[in-house]
Structure 1
Amino acid sequence: MNKITVGFLTFNPKDFFTQSTPMKITRALFISLPLLLLACKEQAQKTTTPTVVRTNKQITLDIKEANRLSELPLGCIQNPLPYKSGVVIAKESDLAMPAVHHPAFYGCFDWHSAVHGHWSLVYLLKTFPGLAHRQEAIDKLNKNLSPENIAKEVAYFSMNPESKMFERTYGWAWLLKLQEELYTWDDPMAKTWYNNLKPLEDYISEAYMEYLPKLVYPIRTGTHSNTAFGLSFAYDYAQTVGNDALAQVIRESAIRFYQQDQDCPMGWEPSGHDFLSPCLQEMDVMRKVLAKEAFEPWAKAFLPALFDQSMDLHPGIVKDRSDGHLVHLDGLNFSRAWCLYPFKDNDLAYNLATEHLDYSLSKITDGDYAGQHWLGTFALYAFKVKKESS
């Protein structure tokens, strides 16, 4: 029988069956050492797992904060310039001022920011009847969300073949989120605005159902085209208004895209101009489309550090808020918060959400249009999810 070397020990296996005292000791060491090392490793893991205590810091959306944040969309939803157009020019008539193509959503620098600026005002009017600029907000919404304006918005999508892809899917998702907010508000003017927007809602719902089965791979960026974000918001809408066909397509698509994902590399985030977290947005939509008993093991395999309380995640730092791309990271802080707050029994998730929301909240009314035209919405949505998750 050949001799075996383990570390600095060389022995003949047949000696294990002798009764000599030295070999008894060697045999005991050989058998027990691996078990001892394993036990030490397990003990080290137990002693290094952090204990997390929920923060006592309170951040609330009160009437004072609501008034402050309402000034941001009020200052831009009817402000036509500056504006970043998404027009693909196929003929001369395509060249026109934004209000020609988008008489409802021509402000706030771009179409999607105008849409979610309207969502912000609807949410604030609905939540705070005593809003300081209530009548001004109502007047602007009445003017922008007229049946005639929405008809022109719908017509834009068929202006030329490239227009079908306009605002896919970020702007689409915010339009459906706006409709969801109106649908759940029992107020006559909300019903009027909802009915006026219905043709655009229907168009976008159908566009989603046509597009998603063709999308072979999800888009995992931290900006507008992120697939998980668009799915998550559209799923909320579909569930709320009872659009079962859209909800089914979204559920099937999300599971097809993400069910096999594990160990999402949070350490790679953020990119330099992210306003969405690819990992957290994916977890957000899977939380919605999977049953609880299926989601919990998926989530623990996908982001284990969040659930063993060891995740080290810091708010994104912005060094120049006049730079329209760099200021995206304030938005990332808010969107991370709205993805984390739903884990209400997870102290680490709550602490991280609160830290991120608090970090950027005071910084978004600095007078620079690069951030002010959109960041208020992100802050408000983080507050909304925080309230609904408490």
Structure 2
Amino acid sequence: MYLFFLILFSLPGHIGHSVQPAPHSPDHMLMSDTLPLDMAQASRLAALPVRCLQTEFPNKLNQVLGSEQEMGTPRQLHPAFFGCFDWHSSVHGHWMLVATLRRFPDLPEADQIRPLVQSTLSAENLAGELAYFQRASEKSFERTYGWAWLLRLSMELQQWEDPLGQELAANLEPLTRLIVGKYKDYLPRLVYPIRTGEHPNTAFGLSHAWDFASFTGDSVLMDLIETHAYRFFATDRDGPLSWEPSGYDFLSPCLEEADLMRRIMPVDMFRPWLRGFLPGLADPAFTLTPGEVRDRTDGKLVHLDGLNFSRAWCLYDLARSLPEYGHLRQIADQHMASSLPRMTDGAYEGEHWLASFAWLALTRAFPDKS
């Protein structure tokens, strides 16, 4: 398959001319000057999941009931991940707190975070989460969005050079193995990719799973993701970025796809693929308007704050991977500036999940500090 696409991208018309990075202007320093990744920023963001991980209600269960006996409260059904409104937000809220402690061990909230995650991620609680996933009625529960965040949490715990991190990674290992198995079972059965800007997006789910597989050395999962990423996306051309966003998007289908293929393809294949898929990105004059949120108390409309963060992390990744796309960093900065100052406004509709998105984008903006 690699040889086929190498030949394809060598054909006339598939290789563009090198584009020089846009010159750095004073505006380009927006992030590092006014929206830094420092202890104060980390503390501000960490305060959100610290609060919501223990907040059981309101709650959206996304449950399929196989019988009357399968009903229960959020805490009964999900003894580890019952807070933050829904399961996946609780999972990535845990991830964000662990990632924050890894980067800032002396965070003022550390004395709250450590006992909190030790309590919620106990072996007993995670055995309850495993049992839920083993229900016959829940084969597709959180596929693949929640799966992706679970693997990222597992990876973060394994990377945390702290006895607590290793303890919690071991507690999570049975559920991690189950999720890896679900990916391996699901991908060969998925005929077409899901290109939505919300939870089921295939490219997003594969990107996080790829990072996990790369970190853990799971060559079987890596090969599977590579095979199906090529099957789904390798021949895509002229992605309709101008059609985005939809009103409820928190992911950019086009940019998430590009960020996946950046991981999968060798750079000599990815460069012409990206020029064919999103040709406008190579232009130093390229612009992309951040999503506008008019009501942050509406749980769907506030998705567009998340879109600004997820677009930003994709753009930072592309700018870092291909020097001629360096101008995309300024566009990412603009997206961050549009939402980061406004996300802690007291509206739970955004506060229960946006800190994780903001944190991921910030760490892509400043990867050298990881």
- What TM-score do the two structures reach when normalised by structure 1? 0.85
Aligned partners of 1:341 and 1:389 also within 8 Å = no
- Superposed, 1:179-258 pairs within 5 Å as 179-258=154-233
* SS of aligned partner of 2:167: helix
- Superposed, 1:241-390 pairs within 5 Å as 241-342=216-317, 343-344=319-320, 345=323, 346-388=325-367
Distance 1:219 1:389, change over 3 A: farther
- Superposed, 1:33-182 pairs within 5 Å as 52-54=22-24, 55-57=28-30, 58=32, 59-159=35-135, 161-182=136-157
Aligned partners of 1:89 and 1:95 also within 8 Å = yes
Q: CA deviation at 1:389?
A: 6.9
Q: CA deviation at 1:308?
A: 2.2
Specify the code of the residue in structure 2 equivalent to 1:130: D
Q: CA deviation at 1:148?
A: 0.8
Specify the code of the residue in structure 2 equivalent to 1:387: F
Aligned partners of 1:335 and 1:382 also within 8 Å = yes
Quote the sequence identity (%): 48
Aligned partners of 1:306 and 1:348 also within 8 Å = no
Aligned partners of 2:43 and 2:107 also within 8 Å = yes
Partners of 2:276 and 2:295 in 1: how far apart?
A: 37
Distance 1:51 1:230, change over 3 A: closer
* SS of aligned partner of 1:362: helix
Q: CA deviation at 1:51?
A: 8.8
Specify the code of the residue in structure 1 equivalent to 2:254: C
Partners of 2:368 and 2:305 in 1: how far apart?
A: 22
* SS of aligned partner of 1:186: coil
Aligned partners of 1:106 and 1:114 also within 8 Å = yes
Q: CA deviation at 1:348?
A: 2.2
Partners of 1:50 and 1:204 in 2: how far apart?
A: 42
Q: CA deviation at 1:208?
A: 0.2
Q: CA deviation at 1:189?
A: 0.7
Aligned partners of 2:79 and 2:125 also within 8 Å = yes
CA-to-aligned-CA distance 1:280-300 (integer Å, 9 cap, x gap):
000000000111111110011
Where do 5+ consecutive residues of structure 2 fail to align? 1-18
Partners of 1:364 and 1:308 in 2: how far apart?
A: 31
Deviates more, 1:110-119 or 1:175-184: 175-184
Aligned partners of 1:77 and 1:107 also within 8 Å = yes
Larger Rg: 1
Q: CA deviation at 1:242?
A: 1.0
Partners of 2:20 and 2:224 in 1: how far apart?
A: 40
Q: CA deviation at 1:311?
A: 2.5
* SS of aligned partner of 1:75: helix
Deviates more, 1:365-374 or 1:299-308: 299-308
* SS of aligned partner of 1:165: coil
Q: CA deviation at 1:309?
A: 2.4
CA-to-aligned-CA distance 1:152-182 (integer Å, 9 cap, x gap):
10110122x3301000000000000011111
Specify the code of the residue in structure 2 equivalent to 1:116: H
Specify the code of the residue in structure 2 equivalent to 1:336: R
Higher relative contact order (CA 8 A, sep 6+): 2
Partners of 2:248 and 2:158 in 1: how far apart?
A: 33
Specify the code of the residue in structure 2 equivalent to 1:211: Y
Specify the code of the residue in structure 2 equivalent to 1:56: M
CA-to-aligned-CA distance 1:229-269 (integer Å, 9 cap, x gap):
00001100110111111111111111110000011011100
Q: CA RMSD in A?
A: 1.6
Partners of 1:305 and 1:61 in 2: how far apart?
A: 30
CA-to-aligned-CA distance 1:96-116 (integer Å, 9 cap, x gap):
101111100000000000000
Aligned partners of 2:21 and 2:327 also within 8 Å = no
Aligned partners of 1:316 and 1:332 also within 8 Å = yes
Specify the code of the residue in structure 2 equivalent to 1:370: E
- What TM-score do the two structures reach when normalised by structure 2? 0.90
